[in-house]
Amino acid sequence: MVWAIDRTAMELGIKARRLMHNHPELENAEVLIFHCPFDCLMLEKVDKPSILYEHLAARPVTFMFDEVIKRVDPIKRLILIHDRPYVLEKFKWLFSLPDIIVCNSKFIRQQMKEWFDVDAYVVYPPVNLKKFKPTTKNPKRTYFLSVQRVNWQKRIDLQIRAFAKTKEKLVIVGSIGEKVPNPDLKRLCSYYPNIEYVGPVSDRTLAKLYTNAKAVIQTGFYEDFGLVPVEGFACGTPAIVVDEGGFRETVHSPELGIRIKPPYEENLVKAVESFNPEDYDSERLREEAEKYSLERFKAEMEHYIDLAVKIHEGRKNKL
């Protein structure tokens, strides 16, 4: 989260320039692909075709701003409100640096247009279909599964409040870091006999958990894309998600799961208690996941790499 955003931008800009200094081989690159808009500052030092693969649309100061300022102390809140116009203008400039911007969802593309008047393309992220696949032909389907990083944006508290009102079992996977379980979440879940927090797990274990779940639960605020439902589809498991953000694109059909409307807590309880996994075809779900293959991602990105090269050459010819 960005508190003193002008200072953070400066520090990240310095980091980008140092990266250029420490890796002179970037001068020999044919195309530069960035995942952070601040890294586009390298384009001030090197003249190369470039793509920004954008995931966030500066969400702390755009579509998530109202949620962010609820969670800070009053002084920081006033600073953020005061600095917001300046920061938005800086982001708009950063987004003007690469030759093209490719977003990870239509939702993020829409936000880029709305907040920065940026025209962008969309390439959905890939899912590792070799790792995520059904682990048994006869899954047990004895619980619902929640998978995410443990932070406030994922609204895990909403899931816990909902499952506290039902006898259905919820298994929560996630961490505050790569391998660090959240002690507060572990303690909270211990209060409920039907809710289990298992912390971080390996991909192999996760595939087994996906396969044997009734459905995958996702409640994150305005998820930019959200790989978790697609990983579930790859293992033959449907999803129950909030009707926001990228979930509208991944869970786009009743064949794939349920998108619940507000009030979320009440409607999550209803969805869970009436849910029947036998209503879903695991082969159809796997077929949907195959649309997000690495091969598809590679082909689409190669297309936009070629486009970035053409646009860059066109810009140079105009000078």
In a domain, 133, yes or no: no
Q: What is the CATH number of the domain that holds 58?
A: 3.40.50.2000
Q: What band does 311 get if pLDDT is binned at 50, 70 and 90?
A: very high
Mean pLDDT of the 252-262 span: 98
Listed residue (42, 48, 47, 38) closest to 91, CA to CA: 38
In a domain, 136, yes or no: no
Q: Are strands 239-242 and 213-218 parallel, antiparallel or unpaired?
A: parallel
In a domain, 273, yes or no: yes
What is residue 25's predicted lDDT score, i.e. its pLDDT? 67
In the chain, the amino acid numbered 258 is I
- H or E, element range at 15: helix 5-22
What is residue 27's predicted lDDT score, i.e. its pLDDT? 73
Which residues lie closer than 8 Å to 290 by C-beta, 6 or more apart?
129, 234
Q: Which residue has the tokens 């953070």?
A: 8
Residue pLDDT, tens place only, 291-308: 999 999 999 999 999 999
The neighbouring-strand residues paired with 215 are 144
Residue pLDDT, tens place only, 9-41: 545 555 555 665 566 667 778 999 999 898 888
Structure tokens that stand for 82 in this block: 């005061």
Same domain, 217 and 248: yes
Same domain, 25 and 70: yes
Listed residue (301, 238, 292) closest to 128, CA to CA: 292
Structural domain count of the chain: 2
Same domain, 147 and 244: yes
pLDDT at 2 over 50: no
What is residue 317's predicted lDDT score, i.e. its pLDDT? 75
Mean pLDDT of the 253-260 span: 98
| Most distant CA pair in the chain, distance | 68
Same domain, 202 and 153: yes
Same domain, 112 and 150: no
- What is the CA angle 179-131-229, rounded to 5? 80
- Mean of the per-residue pLDDT values for the chain? 91
Q: Residue 117: give the domain boundaries.
A: 5-125+295-318
pLDDT at 146 over 90: yes
Same domain, 190 and 216: yes
Q: What band does 61 get if pLDDT is binned at 50, 70 and 90?
A: very high
Tell me 107's DSSP state: H
Mean pLDDT of the 206-220 span: 98
Same domain, 194 and 91: no
In a domain, 135, yes or no: no
Mean pLDDT of the 217-233 span: 97
pTM reported for the whole predicted model: 0.92
Mean pLDDT of the 199-209 span: 96
Burial label for 316, CB within 10 Å (0-12, 13-18, 19+), is exposed
What is residue 5's predicted lDDT score, i.e. its pLDDT? 47
